[in-house]
Amino acid sequence: MEEEKKNNFLEEIIEADLAAGKYDSIITRFPPEPNGYLHLGHAKSLCINFGLAQKYGGKTNLRYDDTNPTKEDVEYVDAIKEDIKWLGFQWAEERYASDYFDQLYEWAEQLIQRGLAYVDDQTLEEIRANRGTVETPGTDSPWRNRSVEENLRLFREMKAGKYPDGAKVLRAKIDMAHPNMMFRDPILYRIKHAHHHRTGDKWCIYPMYDYTHGQCDSIEHITHSICTLEFDIHRPLYDWFIETLGIYPSHQYEFARLNLTYTLMSKRKLLELVEKGFVSGWDDPRMPTLCGVRRRGYTPEALKLFCDRIGVSKRDQLMDISGLEACVRQDLNERSNRYMVVYDDPIKLTLTNWEPGRVEWFEAPLNPADPEGAKRRIPFTGELLIDRADFMEDAPKKYFRLRPGGEVRLKYTYIVKCEEVVKDADGKVVELRCTYDPMTHPQSGQWRSVKGTIHWVSTAFAKEIECRIYDRLFTLADMSQVPEDKDYKDFLNPESLVVRPGWAEPALLDDPGDIAVQFERVGYFKKDPDSTPEKLVMNKTTSLKDSFKL
């Protein structure tokens, strides 16, 4: 599945760095905050970070950005690891920003001693109000000129738990008139009396993102710290901390985040959908989470193919989700086992010239890409079910499926002719009485062809299953354009999940179920964990063709 590609801008940078001898080898990192499950956007970040390290013989650390104890949880820590492994990536080291809390604290005291940080008693609102605007400079805090001794004492008292949440913060003392607002005395530490999932109750002050991220990169000797574009205004501050502290010079580079049509990827909103029951959980097959798309039947190979195709850009754009679905189809088309399933509202098809009680078994490849590979056995009898869409009473000329008096091949078996149409009192077609042509057995050597081939199952052998048919979770293509007077939940698609009965050829029940299967002529379906020995539950992964309309 490899496609020829020219280097992206990150590859250019890394190749230049390596050619210049700047590094012996590169180290990247993936830095999730453990406050939710990974989603398709994270898959792109993972592909970039792990992909670059693989390509250039380097390594990638997994580093949890766990500086916000109230929103974080070990449930997320574990799920994130599982998702990364599922994608097929292996991190070199598992680290946590909280591993470095002691070091970060020591550096903060160092900044205080050098007159580069102070304890501020203003409230967060006051601090925000006094920051000024892009046009106007900020106002110095009345606490900005505390002595080193006083700052040290207060900061130690903050650490010791003497003050309540919000009473004080530690700020860097840089420049309240700096053109980059990030430099207007950024907050380094805030007080938060909260239990941390790793450090327990050791800390009641926690470092801010900007004060944490670059130093963590530096401690791990990350050579290329790759993040999304919105962090480009943070980069000068990232560099400032590293230069001021005189530590290992990691560098930050930014790429455009992945945005997909009909999809939301904010963890906060995904959490709300879960908590309010709009979806069945983080792994609901309609969710853009990695556990959701996995349950849906998307494969790691398809996600990687997609990330590779869309490439790495420096400009934000909205990608069409059908591009991802095309990758899923391409991968599953090559690898999935085939079965015949009729679902929803089938029509009974009876063969009037079939000997009553006779069963004939046909063989077909599980995967047509491997005709010599494993086979499945399909029972054929005189009473069958076909898809309602495969029959039309007043069919146009170009309709090649079944019509009154017309012929069609029942896939892998005989050609049948529709002799009589039986309807119920409401005029609904309930049965097609047909005859089969025994001369048209595929191995008869007297091959005769007809234009249409349709799928079918034998009523006597069919296994009833549950089909969960999914559609887009949202009806708005660009979910960043939700109007002011509306909420994103107003765009939930009420038909995003429809449950239908299905009737499957018996071999489906023996499928290992590790990868989605193809229901021939219908689409790809993945076995759901809700399946029981009595009833198979199948999630529709995607249709065979792109047929989306809204």
Instruction: In angstroms, give the least distance from the CB of 307 to ligand ATP.
Output: 9
Count Cβ atoms within 10 A of the Cβ of residue 69 and give its class: 0-12 exposed, 13-18 middle, 19 or more buried.
Answer: buried
Q: Which one of the spans 26-34, 113-121, 245-253, 518-526 is the region binding ligand ATP (CB under 6 A)? A: 26-34
Number of H-type helices and E-type strands within the chain: 12, 27
Left, alpha or beta for 247 (phi > 0: left; psi -120 to 50: alpha)?
Answer: beta
Closest residue to Mg ion, judged by C-beta, is 33
**Cα–chain-centroid distance for residue 485?**
29
Q: Is residue 68 part of the contact set for Mg ion (CB under 5 A)?
A: no
Closest CA to 67 of 110, 92, 95, 101: 101
Of the candidates 380, 517, 510, the residue with the CA atom closest to the CA atom of residue 455: 380
Q: Which is nearer to ligand ATP, 31 or 186 (CB)?
A: 31
Residue 261: name its binding partner from ligand ATP, Mg ion, none (Cβ under 5 to 8 Å by kind): none
Query: Does the protein bind Mg ion through residue 271 (CB under 5 A)?
Result: no
CB 460 within 8 A of CB 531: no
Tokens (6 digits) for 156: 């130690």
Q: Does residue 44 belong to the site contacting ligand ATP (CB under 6 A)?
A: yes
Q: Which does 44 bind (CB under 5 to 8 A by kind): ligand ATP, Mg ion, none?
A: ligand ATP
| Residue 152 Cβ vs Mg ion, minimum distance, rounded to whole Å | 31
The nearest distance, CB 80 to ligand ATP, in angstroms, is 8
**Nearer to ligand ATP by C-beta: 276 or 397?**
276
The answer to whether residue 258 forms part of the interface with ligand ATP (CB under 6 A) is yes
Are 373 and 334 in contact by the 8 Å Cβ rule? The answer is: no
CA distance 491 to 480: 12
Residues 6+ apart with CB under 8 A from 78: none
Q: How far is CA 466 from CA 341, 388, 417, in A?
A: 11, 18, 31
State the nearest-atom distance from the C-beta of 45 to ligand ATP, in Å: 4
- The residue among 228 and 459 lying less far from Mg ion, judged by its C-beta, is 228
Distances (CA, A) of 239 to 61, 75, 179, 217, 233: 20, 33, 16, 11, 11
Determine, following the binding rule CB under 6 A, whether residue 42 of this chain makes contact with ligand ATP: yes
Nearest residue (beta carbon) to ligand ATP = 41
Tell me which of 10, 31, 216, 285 binds ligand ATP, using CB under 6 A: 31
Q: Which is nearer to ligand ATP, 267 or 526 (CB)?
A: 267
Instruction: With CB under 6 A as the rule, give the number of residues binding ligand ATP.
Output: 15
Least distance CB 208 / Mg ion (angstroms) = 12
Window 523 to 542, contacts with Mg ion (CB under 5 A): none
Find residue 60's DSSP bridge partners.
28
How is residue 509 annotated by DSSP? G
The encoded tokens of residue 502 equal 């299905």
190 catalytically annotated: no
Dihedral, 390, 392, 398, 402 alpha carbons, nearest 10: 50
Q: Cβ of 124: how many Cβ atoms within 10 Å?
A: 11
Q: Which is nearer to Mg ion, 33 or 126 (CB)?
A: 33
Question: Annotated catalytic residue: which of 267, 294, 304, 403?
Answer: 267
Give 115's DSSP letter. Answer: T
CB of 30 to ligand ATP, least distance (A): 6
Q: Binding to ligand ATP by residue 45, rule CB under 6 A? A: yes
Tell the residue number behind the tokens 């109007």, with chain if given: 483
**Does residue number 437 form part of the binding site for Mg ion (CB under 5 A)?**
no
Return the one option of Mg ion, ligand ATP, none that residue 322 interacts with (CB less than 5 to 8 A, by type).
Answer: none
CA distance 500 to 182: 54
Indicate the SS3 state at residue 504.
Answer: strand
Of 13, 247, 265, 389, the one binding ligand ATP by CB under 6 A: 265
Q: CB–CB of 432/350 below 8 Å?
A: yes
**267 interacts with, out of Mg ion, ligand ATP, none, CB within 5 to 8 A per kind:** ligand ATP
Is 346 a binding residue for ligand ATP by CB under 6 A? The answer is: no
Binding mask 200-239 for ligand ATP (x = CB under 6 A): ---------------------------xx-----------
Instruction: Evaluate whether 398 touches 418 at the Cβ level (below 8 Å).
Output: no
Q: Which of these segments, 259-267, 379-387, 392-400, 430-438, binds ligand ATP (CB under 6 A)?
A: 259-267
Least distance between ligand ATP and beta carbon 494 (Å): 25
| HSE of 179, CA atoms in CB hemisphere, 13 A | 1
Which H/E stretch holds residue 239? helix 235-245
- For position 41 contacting ligand ATP by CB under 6 A, the verdict is yes
Under rule CB under 6 A, residue 257 binds ligand ATP: yes
257 is catalytic: yes
Strand order in the sheet with 27-30: 27-30, 59-64, 94-96
Per-residue binding string, ligand ATP, 379-418, x by CB under 6 A, is ----------------------------------------
Helix, strand or coil, per DSSP, at residue 145: coil
CB of 26 to ligand ATP, least distance (A): 16
Catalytic residue list contains 33:
yes
Binding string to Mg ion for residues 25 to 64, with x set by CB under 5 A, is what?
--------x-------------------------------
Question: Which partner from the list ligand ATP, Mg ion, none does 295 bind, CB cut-off 5 to 8 Å by kind?
Answer: none
**Active-site option among 59, 153, 192, 257:** 257
Regarding 267 and contact with ligand ATP (CB under 6 A), the answer is: yes
* Unique residue bearing structure tokens 């849906």: 296
**Considering the rule CB under 6 A, would residue 251 count as an interface residue with ligand ATP?**
no
Where in 347-458 does DSSP place strands (E)?
347-351, 360-365, 375-380, 383-386, 407-410, 415-423, 429-437, 453-454, 457-458
Dihedrals phi, psi of 518, to nearest 5 degrees: -105, 125
**Where along the sequence are the contacts to Mg ion (CB under 5 A)?**
33
Catalytic residues: 33, 257, 267
> Which residues lie near ligand ATP (CB under 6 A)?
31-33, 41-42, 44-45, 65, 227-228, 257-258, 265-267
